[in-house]
Amino acid sequence: MINTKKPKIWYGGDYNPDQWEKPIWDEDLRMFKLAGIDVATLNVFAWAKNQPDEETYDFGWLDEMMDKLHADGIGVCLATSTAAHPAWMARKYPDVLQVDFNGRKRKFGGRHNSCPNSPTYRKYAVRMAEKLAERYKGHPALLIWHINNEYGGAGNCYCDNCEAAFREWAKARYGTLDEVNRAWNTGFWGHTFHDWEDIVLPSGLSEEWAGANGRTETNFQGISLDYIRFHSDSLLDCYKLEYEAVKKHTPDIPVTTNLMGAFKKLDYHKWAKHMDVVSWDNYPRFDTPHSYTGMMHDLMRGLKDGQPFMLMEQTPSQQNWQPYNSLKRPGVMRLWSYQAVARGADTILFFQLRRSIGACEKYHGAVIEHVGHEHTRVFRECAQLGAELGKLGDTLLDARVEAKVAILFDWENWWAVEMSSGPTIALRYVDEAHKFYDALYRSGIAADVVSVEADLSGYDLVIAPVMYMVKQGIADKLENYVQSGGALITTFFSGIVDENDLVKTGGYPGELRKLLGIWAEDIDALLPSQRNRIVLPDGASGLKPEYECGMLCDLIHSEGAEVKAVYGDDFYRGMPALTVNKFGAGEAWYLATSPEAAFLQDWLSQLCSSRGIKPLVHSAPEGVETTLRSKDGQEYLFVLNHNADAVTVELGDRSGVDLLTGRPMDGGKAELAGRDVWIVKLHM
């Protein structure tokens, strides 16, 4: 439970009374009651209001609102307001301003525009956090601290402070210049460093340039990879300083900051170690697959080994910053909220509770629309959900999602894969992970999305898509997992480099070669218009005779692995495309190319079945999502219909009671309305 003061699924969101006149406040509180709102996130961007100059702090409005919310039974997620520094700070202390990729000094404007290595920024941010903690440490409304907001949302910084800090970071990581030169392979192009001061940041002025597909290209992957690590660490240091400031005065109040799913710039596995609870902001695009949103929830849940998380932001109706900002259709907000709960969320919070009237987010949806009253479709839907969450109480709090399949996801591997100078710009790490996730999702099979550092012993199947970077100790860990009876799948372009993006010589897939029982001689990059075929032997149970594949094709040779499928075309026709190697009590699979979706769904379904991993319901219709949460020996089956029309779902021998309606669910077949949800408390 996040905080015992509020023993239910929290419901509410970002509230900005500092942007409104006081007569609006009481009207908002009246409507919060109607909607079942019981948590408000305050003070996210109020730094300039709270601190109008260097010496003055004025929290009068916040005092009043904290008291008002508490009097109405509403708890507070209190932000430290440090996501946007005040204008006076930029004018008086320009070191707080970022320098961009091309060496230009920013002026005041936007948000997240602070240099993370600015001594001035850190000084005043920590001071603000501490003053808030001192002031509200005993306030009964305080439920959780919200540090900053969406770290990393603006460009990286390339100022002199960052450059000096990068040198110190490199000293701490490598110790000597000789080790730096080795890790960065600086003998290439005569880049050898003989003095720490010779090291400069990789940017548009030095090693990097804007490349195809929106990627940043670099001459030296090792230097650029370490800069990304450094920048993630720099922002994390800012977070940790504020964390420590509030914990000093409120040691029993949990602390979080809102993450953003598969956000490339920050290593969230490293960040999560310093968060009491993970929270994140869910904003699917108009064309985002439901399975991708599910994967993001599972990724966030996996950051702290399955601990329930907070949904910190979603929109009740529409967004404002995408190319096409469609309204959520009737029922979709409720459905997507329960999708979050189904996958481990213990809060449903919105951005925002009242719509702004100006600036870039004035058309971003809210519980209270511009009309200012409760007689809107969006408000009615929000009130319905609020009432349902009130009825659920603490039933689902701390319930865990159970999965026998894990997908390994690694930020540093992601950075390295997409920073590689070849073999193809078409390779996108998250997309390849999602292909596997989507195949499992469509088959109704649960998967955790976890770090390479996670304990794998509880999983029957572990999938490591495009494991290009194999860090120290990971090959041994995977060998031990398979040796003990586990099944591992990895793919093309795996086992190539170490943590410094240096190729492991002796043949691909490097340290994974013994485990996989193969040798990859070469890697063919196909044009977008080109395809090859995965051809299976006659009588391959449950699979078609052949499937399309493309993008990359590893040309592999068996070194003991059994060949399960071969390529159908080109000069490497007949070479292995899919292999399995028996290793100890387990097996290690290698998929040498990127296949069409049908292959993954057919193959993974068969492989899971062979290992006793079963779907949650029998033959769920297309567009129906299922998950299971369990708590104290009780299981709760979630069935979500993403279709606009009703479908028939076969529960088989599962029976129970739908918590939302009280309806008995006696197994067999039942009709689930369009965009509706069951939460079935199963008979055990």
Q: Which residues are catalytic?
A: 150, 313
SS3 41: strand
With residue 674 as reference, give the H or E element that holds it.
none
CB 399 within 8 A of CB 631: yes
Residue closest to 220 by CA, chosen among 199, 196, 195, 197: 199
The DSSP letter of residue 128 is H
Within 8 A by CB and 6+ apart from 216, the residues are 208, 209, 210, 224, 419
- CA gap 384, 376 in Å, rounded: 12
Residue closest to 120 by CA, chosen among 62, 79, 173, 159: 159
Tokens describing residue 303: 């950051």
SS3 667: coil
Q: Crossing angle, helix 22-35 and helix 60-71, to 10 degrees?
A: 30
Question: What are the φ and ψ backbone dihedral angles of 166, each rounded to 5 degrees?
Answer: -65, -40
Q: What angle do CA 543, 525, 490 make, to 5 degrees?
A: 50
Tokens describing residue 667: 């197994």
Q: What angle do CA 463, 468, 472 make, to 5 degrees?
A: 90
* DSSP strand pairing (39-42 vs 10-14): parallel
Q: What angle do CA 403, 404, 410 make, to 5 degrees?
A: 80
SS3 78: strand
Residue closest to 490 by CA, chosen among 470, 473, 507, 471: 470
CA gyration radius, the chain:
26
Question: What are the φ and ψ backbone dihedral angles of 665, each rounded to 5 degrees?
Answer: -120, 105
CB 159 within 8 A of CB 264: no
Tokens describing residue 18: 């500092």
With residue 195 as reference, give the H or E element that holds it.
none
CB 557 within 8 A of CB 521: yes
Question: What are the φ and ψ backbone dihedral angles of 593, each rounded to 5 degrees?
Answer: -150, 170
CB 606 within 8 A of CB 489: no
- CA gap 248, 226 in Å, rounded: 32
CB 511 within 8 A of CB 504: yes
Q: How many CB atoms lie within 10 A of CB 356?
A: 17
- CA gap 632, 655 in Å, rounded: 18
SS3 598: helix
SS3 337: helix
Tokens describing residue 500: 């410094």
Within 8 A by CB and 6+ apart from 614, the residues are 445, 608
Query: Could you write out the three-class secondary structure of 97-111?
Result: ECECCCCCECCCCCC
> What does the chain come to in residues?
684
